Amino acid sequence: MNIGDKAPDFKLMDKDNNEVTLSQFRGKKVILYFYPKDNTPGCTKQACNFRDNYPQIVAKGAEVIGISKDSAKTHTNFATKHELPFILLSDPDVRVIQAYGAWKEKKMYGKTFLGIERTSFLIDEEGIIVDIVNGKRMKAATNADDIIAGGFLD
C-alpha cells in the first residue's frame, strides 16, 4: 500500500460478532491501525492513547478501527479491561493484514518470524490513503497524539 492508493475494502467481525466493512465508513475519515496483540505493553499503550483521544477524533467526524489476529473474545476482554470505545476487528487468517502490507518479517530475541508490523493508515472520506505511519515514525504510546498533531483531522 502507498499513499494515494484506494484503501482495500474488507469484511471482518468485531468483538460482538458483527460484520464490519471499511466501505460503511465512506464519507468519514478513518484511522485504521494494525497492532500485534491485545493486552501486550505496547499495544495497550497505543489503544489507550486512541481511547483518550477518541472524543476529539469522533467530534471531528472520524472513526478509529483496530485490527489484529486476536479473537473476538480476546478483543472483548481487552476492550472491557481498558474501556476502549472504538471498533476492534479480528483477522485470524491475516487476509486483511496482508492486503495492507502489515504482515512482515520481524526479529525478536534472536528469532525471525512473521508478524504484524504496527502500522496506522489514515484514510480520507473518499477511501484514499493519505498517510501511513509505521517504522521509525510509529510511537505506540503517542500514535493518536501524533496523528492529531499532524493535522489529519483538520
Question: What does 91-124 look like in DSSP terms, one character per residue?
Answer: -TT-HHHHHTT-EEEEEETTEEEEEEPPEEEEE-
Max CA pair span of the chain:
45
Round to whole Å and give the CA distance between 131 and 8. 15
Round to whole Å and give the CA distance between 79 and 73. 10
Question: What order do you get walking across the sheet with 29-34 strand by strand?
Answer: 19-21, 11-14, 87-90, 62-68, 29-34, 119-123, 129-133
Indicate the angle between helix axes 41-59 and 72-82, nearest 10 degrees.
Answer: 70
Active site residue 43: yes
Q: Which amino acid is at 134?
A: N
- Catalytic-role residue among 7, 12, 32, 43: 43
Residues with catalytic roles? 43
